[in-house]
Amino acid sequence: MTAFEYANVIIDISHEKVDRTFQYRIPESLRDKIEIGAPVVIPFGRGNTRRKGYVLELTDEPDWEPDKIKEIEDVAADTVSAEDISIKLAAWMKRHYGSTMIAALKTVLPAAKKQTRQVHKYVSLRMAVREATEQYYECVRKKQKARERVLGELLLNPDERIPYELITGKLNVSPATLKSMSEQGIIKIDAEEYFRKPVAFTSQRYGDKTLSDEQQGIVDSFVSDYDHGKRDTYLIHGITGSGKTEVYIALIDEIIKRGKQAIVLIPEIALTYQTLMRFYRHFGDRVSVMNSSLSPGEKFDQMERARTGDIDIIIGPRSALFTPFPNTGIIIIDEEHESSYKSETMPKYHARETAIELGKLVKDGASVVLGSATPSLESYYRAKEGKYHLFELKKRLTGGTLPEVEIADLRQELRNGNRSIFSRRLQELMNDRLNKGEQAMLFINRRGLAGFISCRSCGHVFKCPHCDVSLSEHRGGMLVCHYCGYQQPMTKICPKCGSKYVTSFRAGTQQIEDEVKKYWPTARVLRMDADTTRTKGSYDKILSTFANKEADVLVGTQMIVKGHDFPDVTLVGILAADMSLYASDYRASERTFQLLTQAAGRAGRGDKPGNVVVQTYQPEHYSIQTASRQDYDAFYEEEIAYRDLLRYPPVSHMMSVQIQSRDEDMGMAFATRLRAIMEQNKKDGAVFIGPAAAAIGKINDVYRMAVYVKLDDYEGLVSYKDMLEKYIRRLEDMGKLKNITVQFDFDPVNGY
Ligand code: ADP
Ligand code: ZN
Ligand code: ZN
């Protein structure tokens, strides 16, 4: 297939050594068999021992004197070893998303050096259940909250040991409390040397539910497909509380029975204690977790456990997809609409598509199960096309009724003289709930003290001189850039027109917190945003404080709307629902709908009915209307019509060619040239947009611009990408491309 003369081959497949390649000549006889990712047999070292390697790059340029370059002996047999699969997957990602092979390999290979083993501590009950129960009520009486939580958790499953870190972390109990409980003979703390297991313990199976008919139907249908050798992609559309997680657990059970392993992807932010515990309670020591708070040693051990068969199930965010199981049988992606499933660095892969590809590569094939209350337009569209198999879960099993959603028109509030950030209806409901001792969540799509600062007289907006984004006002009178950290003092006079009507435009989390304290001085308020969750453990601490009813109001950004169950929350206020509609990309409405639906879903999870107040300047917008009715299908119909009209994904495909340069003119000229190259090879139906400055036109003094291409045929976009990569590579080889970098993003999800 290739006309190239030389291949750069990698021999030692480990993350650290990927950069170390060796060049070989490709003999004529093998030229049509060698492509990137191909396994080859090569003579290596002084003794020319035969080794297996993989082709990472192809080139016509020899790195040394040509007659000193050895020849590839043969193409190695095609196998399905974990290594072969990783390389094939990397090669697919390189081609499908645009990247170097090395960057793709670094993505799929677990990144950790070998580590030494460590000790793990566990907590269990030392006394009999009856005595412990008495202790528990004693703590309740004495209001010893921390002890109450420890005992409560242990009594739930008296024979279980719970990892020490879970209790100090997620349950927010101090080591001193545990120590004294241990000294008093209430609990036992023991230590074990083992693989580092972030949240593992041996357990009895417990709390298994008899599946509802709807749930059982999904499991039966899946199992029947599976046993007939059919591997497919399934989408489970079901509101929160409709029993998706229980279905995942049942599916995994079936897969494990068949000697296979399971990968479960959950957005990092939704990897909560409650979710993890459900898997641990069911699968005990056979499950583990991967997330960013694990140490390198812990990460390494989880990969080893997967490789050696010590576990069957891994739960983690996007990167857990690359867990080296010998025999993956199912890949589950929960909350599949989440934008965090798309990588923001090269290769800019989407976990959903990559999972489907991985499912094709593994031995015997794996099926993919997607789940969401608000499926991505992509997945629902594919399901309607018949490419994915659609399952619906319509009933909510948690009991609890859907909350009543009201829309508050902020324009009307202003006309009626209400200048506060709370509509009158929201104030009324807040009063009511706080009086009753119930909890409320206030959600805003923003962080910091304020949104942007502007002059009401001339409209001047204060922006970062390096990044071209608006500055935000922070406490202490500083204006701060959220990208590069640039600061300048807040001024009272407009630098442009000299007026003194300079104000912050919209409320941020901190300002809301202050306002809540002003309106309801006795309310206990918690705030959760990027600022208050910077340190390790702070996120869990805020959530557990709120869950333990040690606060009445939780104010926060999107972080608070993800997957938490707070049965006493009976009011959710969405303070500026349309803020995400101002984002400058084609997914703004979809993101708004998802956020609003999820936020609304936070109210009325327990037996008490809930209220939701959606405050907005655009009450008639379909995202807001359909979200307030929790009507996914109506939203989908409106949105897909818009995508269809403008040929946006998922109806068509879009590639963004992202150019970055310190020299704005040079960057623009280069972007124009790239567009011209593609246009000279115009494909039917291709639409070119730009070049134009990116939504964030400059970061750290580097200018950013993009050219967009829309085309129904994804492969057509791939061949445009190949064309540009080749051109760029040639310029680089000639030393002619300086100070410019180019990246590709297919069907972009995150703004640029
Ligand atoms: P989702 O993942 O869709 O939010 P879950 O699987 O978490 O839904 O289920 C919601 C709640 O209903 C959980 O508390 C779960 O324990 C319970 N549940 C799920 N399936 C059943 C069932 N078949 N019988 C009884 N309770 C169930
Ligand atoms: Zn002004
Ligand atoms: Zn900046």
Q: What is the CATH number of the domain that holds 274?
A: 3.40.50.300
Domain assignment of residue 82, given as a range: 6-108
CATH code for the domain in which residue 67 is found:
3.40.1440.60
Longest dimension (CA), the chain: 88
Q: Tell whether 614 and 705 lie within a shared domain.
A: no
Q: Is residue 490 part of a domain?
A: no
Phi (first) and psi of residue 245, to 5 degrees: -60, -40
Q: What is the pLDDT of residue 450?
A: 43
Q: What is the pLDDT of residue 469?
A: 63
Q: Are strands 472-474 and 478-480 parallel, antiparallel or unpaired?
A: antiparallel
Distance 245 CA to ligand 1 centre (A): 7
Q: Are strands 439-443 and 553-556 parallel, antiparallel or unpaired?
A: parallel
Q: Tell whether 230 and 306 lie within a shared domain.
A: yes
Structure tokens at 171: 């349950």
Nearest CA to ligand 1 atom 25: 209
Phi (first) and psi of residue 614, to 5 degrees: -100, 110
Q: DSSP assignment of 221-269, as one string? A: HHHHHHHTT---EEEEEE-TTSSHHHHHHHHHHHHHHTT-EEEEE--GG
Distance 749 CA to ligand 1 centre (A): 30
Distance 453 CA to ligand 2 centre (A): 11
Task: Choose one of 216, 218, 246, 394 to mutate for the ligand 1 pocket test, by most ligand atoms within 8 angstroms of C-beta.
Answer: 246
Q: Tell whether 224 and 266 lie within a shared domain.
A: yes
Model confidence pLDDT, tens digit, residues 390-431: 999 988 776 667 788 899 988 788 778 887 889 999 999 999
Q: Tell whether 229 and 338 lie within a shared domain.
A: yes
Q: Is residue 486 part of a domain?
A: no
| Ligand 1 pocket residue status of 245, Cβ below 6 Å | yes
Q: Looking at the CA of 463, name the nearest ligand.
A: 3
Q: Tell whether 543 and 620 lie within a shared domain.
A: yes
Q: Is residue 204 part of a domain?
A: no
* Confidence label for 386 from pLDDT (cuts 50, 70 and 90): very high
Structure tokens at 631: 């009507």
Q: What is the pLDDT of residue 541?
A: 84
Nearest CA to ligand 1 atom 20: 243
Number of folded domains that form the chain? 5
Nearest CA to ligand 1 atom 15: 243
CATH code for the domain in which residue 669 is found:
3.30.70.360
Q: DSSP assignment of 94-106, as one string? A: HHHH---HHHHHH
Instruction: Give yes or no for residue 202 having a pLDDT over 50.
Output: no
Instruction: Give yes or no for residue 532 having a pLDDT over 90.
Output: no
Instruction: Give yes or no for residue 196 having a pLDDT over 70.
Output: no
Model confidence pLDDT, tens digit, residues 600-647: 777 766 677 789 999 887 788 899 899 988 899 999 999 999 899 888
Lowest-confidence segment of 79-83, 117-121, 744-748 by average pLDDT: 117-121
Distance 482 CA to ligand 3 centre (A): 7
| Ligand 1 pocket residue status of 21, Cβ below 6 Å | no
Q: Directed axis angle between helix 664-680 and helix 714-733, to 10°?
A: 130
Instruction: Give yes or no for residue 267 having a pLDDT over 60.
Output: yes
Q: How far apart are CA 506 and CA 45, in angstroms?
A: 66
Lowest-confidence segment of 331-335, 452-456, 745-749 by average pLDDT: 452-456
Average pLDDT rounded to a whole number, residues 7-30: 79
| Ligand 1 pocket residue status of 400, Cβ below 6 Å | no
Model confidence pLDDT, tens digit, residues 577-586: 766 555 556 7
Nearest CA to ligand 1 atom 23: 211
Model confidence pLDDT, tens digit, residues 659-683: 999 999 999 999 999 999 999 998 9
Q: Tell whether 325 and 424 lie within a shared domain.
A: no
Q: Is residue 500 part of a domain?
A: no
Distance 463 CA to ligand 2 centre (A): 14
Q: How far apart are CA 452 and CA 460, in angstroms?
A: 10
- Contact at 8 Å (CB) between 102 and 19? yes
Please state, as a whole number, how many other Cβ atoms lie within 10 Å of the Cβ of residue 308.
Answer: 11
Q: Tell whether 517 and 616 lie within a shared domain.
A: yes
Q: Tell whether 535 and 436 lie within a shared domain.
A: yes
Q: Is residue 327 part of a domain?
A: yes
Instruction: Give yes or no for residue 199 having a pLDDT over 60.
Output: no
Distance 483 CA to ligand 3 centre (A): 5
Q: Which of 44, 79, 108 is the last residue of a domain?
A: 108
Distance 408 CA to ligand 1 centre (A): 33
| Ligand 1 pocket residue status of 275, Cβ below 6 Å | no
Comparison of pLDDT for 489 and 480, the residue scoring more? 489
Q: Is residue 325 part of a domain?
A: yes
Structure tokens at 16: 């650290």
| Atom number, ligand 1, closest to the C-alpha of residue 239 | 3
Distance 468 CA to ligand 3 centre (A): 7
Q: Looking at the CA of 699, name the nearest ligand.
A: 3
Structure tokens at 365: 């094939």
Average pLDDT rounded to a whole number, residues 52-66: 83
Q: What is the pLDDT of residue 457?
A: 65
Distance 354 CA to ligand 3 centre (A): 34
Q: How far apart are CA 358 and CA 375, in angstroms?
A: 21
Q: What is the pLDDT of residue 580?
A: 59
Q: Tell whether 75 and 155 lie within a shared domain.
A: no
Nearest CA to ligand 1 atom 8: 243
Q: How far apart are CA 181 and CA 602, in angstroms?
A: 35
Contacts of 420 (CB under 8 A, 6+ apart): 427, 515, 519
Contacts of 254 (CB under 8 A, 6+ apart): 219, 222, 223, 226
- Contact at 8 Å (CB) between 561 and 443? yes
Distance 319 CA to ligand 3 centre (A): 29
Average pLDDT rounded to a whole number, residues 699-704: 90
Structure tokens at 207: 């709390």
Q: How far apart are CA 692 and CA 699, in angstroms?
A: 15
Task: Choose one of 397, 564, 565, 607 to mutate for the ligand 1 pocket test, by most ligand atoms within 8 angstroms of C-beta.
Answer: 397
* Confidence label for 18 from pLDDT (cuts 50, 70 and 90): low
Comparison of pLDDT for 608 and 31, the residue scoring more? 31
Looking at the DSSP bridge assignments, the partners of residue 692 are 706
Q: Tell whether 444 and 576 lie within a shared domain.
A: yes
Q: Tell whether 532 and 436 lie within a shared domain.
A: yes
> H helices then E strands: how many in the chain?
21, 30
Q: Which of 194, 222, 248 is the last residue of a domain?
A: 194
Comparison of pLDDT for 23 and 79, the residue scoring more? 23
> How far, in Å, are 88, 187, 254 from residue 285 at the CA level?
31, 22, 17
Q: Which of 595, 619, 582 is nearest to 506 (CA)?
A: 582
Instruction: Give yes or no for residue 502 having a pLDDT over 90.
Output: no
Most confident of 18-22, 215-219, 685-689: 215-219
> How far, in Å, are 177, 574, 724 from residue 344 at the CA level?
42, 28, 20
Q: What is the pLDDT of residue 700?
A: 87
Q: Which of 415, 388, 436 is nearest to 611 (CA)?
A: 436
| Ligand 1 pocket residue status of 240, Cβ below 6 Å | yes
Comparison of pLDDT for 401 and 371, the residue scoring more? 371
- Contact at 8 Å (CB) between 536 and 573? no
Q: Is residue 280 part of a domain?
A: yes
Percent of the chain residues topping a pLDDT of 90: 40
- Contact at 8 Å (CB) between 620 and 412? no
**Residue 117: how many CA atoms within 13 Å on its side-chain side?**
9
Q: Which of 643, 668, 699 is the last residue of a domain?
A: 643
Instruction: Give yes or no for residue 73 having a pLDDT over 50.
Output: yes
Model confidence pLDDT, tens digit, residues 81-112: 778 888 889 999 999 999 888 889 889 986 65
CA 502 from centroid of its chain's CA atoms: 37
Distance 153 CA to ligand 1 centre (A): 20
Q: Is residue 457 part of a domain?
A: no
Instruction: Give yes or no for residue 172 having a pLDDT over 90.
Output: no
Instruction: Give yes or no for residue 461 having a pLDDT over 80.
Output: no
Task: Choose one of 398, 566, 602 to mutate for the ligand 1 pocket test, by most ligand atoms within 8 angstroms of C-beta.
Answer: 398
Q: How far apart are CA 747 and CA 718, in angstroms?
A: 12
Average pLDDT rounded to a whole number, residues 532-554: 84
| Ligand 1 pocket residue status of 241, Cβ below 6 Å | yes
Instruction: Give yes or no for residue 342 having a pLDDT over 70.
Output: yes
Q: Looking at the CA of 468, name the nearest ligand.
A: 3
Q: Which of 517, 468, 507 is nearest to 704 (CA)?
A: 468
Mean pLDDT of the chain: 85
Q: Tell whether 701 and 722 lie within a shared domain.
A: yes
